Structure 1
């Protein structure tokens, strides 16, 4: 039985030839040639009984595509149109690597992309968005680790191939965070360091998601959401999730209840006991605007040494949980 051609994809290409065309039909086993009008294809690969890939030869106008088999040629009139336009050209892929799980957004720059009908990563087709005749973005499909060739196809033909390399997907690893403590209300910026952060899709503080920015494959800056207690930090990428072995502490703001004594000499130097709550993570003590040396006795008591001063000032303390509110008055004699 003679082969039967049902369709050709794409059905247009450059008058200079060189377009990769998929010919679909039946009865292709044993076929020896494909023709564009009266001209043999520049390349011919028998894929299966229903599929052939051929490279269009140079030509003009609209011609019929036929396949020649052992018992004769196909007789259907399946048109292919030559267009007088340059084939697309790929100049660069950014990025030119991505995880084998796919999903990497690749910006393709070059020329002749207007009317693009297909973007391929190796043998796999990709979803893509046309930005302009010189730029489009494509989503890398999932594939095995290793290099593939990316091509763009338009009615004028198929572009030169550009290399893209898939690397094995690995789960991210969080090794450190700075700071590791913050206020219950959240809102502070936490720098997360580790590896495998490229393409991160989520950062979690315990069960709460965070807004974040990927700085590099080894650093993410995240804004802590409001929370409480000690929670694990988790980074999620297409390669998996980190194990949550690094923790972040939510700290309550300190509260000052009393000062003993609440007055002292103008030259300072005496000891003042500050009584209150949530003092464990205190970082600074101030008498007015002046810092004072101090020691943390317990979560409810601090001993501070006032600096020299005059009049009545407000004593405040600062901690990872934020500043104390309100402060307490201290009078210089």
Structure 2
């Protein structure tokens, strides 16, 4: 065992429990009262595709559309820099494409071609919403099975508790601040599950190892030693990931802003939960050395023939 300083992480477990409970109450209350601000992927809406002669300024297009009354317009390139796809959250209007084209043509020194004006019905959005939710539940169930098989059932409960904690807080963040929740954000939430699980697995592996090596230590001491030993790895991984996500959130553009923000919140809260949720749940469930001891092999008694 190393003689380096061991941090008393579990000394703050009651404060951490209260903090997590507060975040969860705020998240669940906001989800119940405000709900999520679903994007067009889930709610349905209109799609308008335009063709420019040369690559336009997307920010200028957004400003023009806001000036024309289309405040919820999502503008992105489609295939090439001169192909522009505009998504609008409103009912189908056969003349919508012409109205958008007219609004954007003002002040332009190039010809704009209307290529497509379609409507994505609400039924499609409803199916995407249901399948996304079912996919998330299936992911959590499979994770619970995997962790129980690799470690022990108490580790499984702790890992899934941490993942549910992370997912609810990320969803609560989008509900409280009413940011658009679309398929890219859903993909980020699933990525948060993977990131948080990886961190929790690393910590759990060290906890299991130390339970078998530190025979005279208490469960709390083993938790503190394990978390201290994995702290450097956790911080280096989290900080390097955060550097990329901050850059994406600031200069990545509108299309991936929600994705970057979801991962940003998820990585921060996932790092916290791998220390103060998963390990805390193990202590609450009374994890002990006997839980991790391999089962004794029963010796078979063979009757001797006379």
TM range (shorter): under 0.3
**Under a length normalisation based on structure 1, what TM-score does the superposition of the two structures give?**
0.26
The structure richer in helix per residue is 2
Higher normalized contact order (CA 8 Å, seq sep 6+, divided by chain length): 2
> Which structure has the greater CA radius of gyration?
1
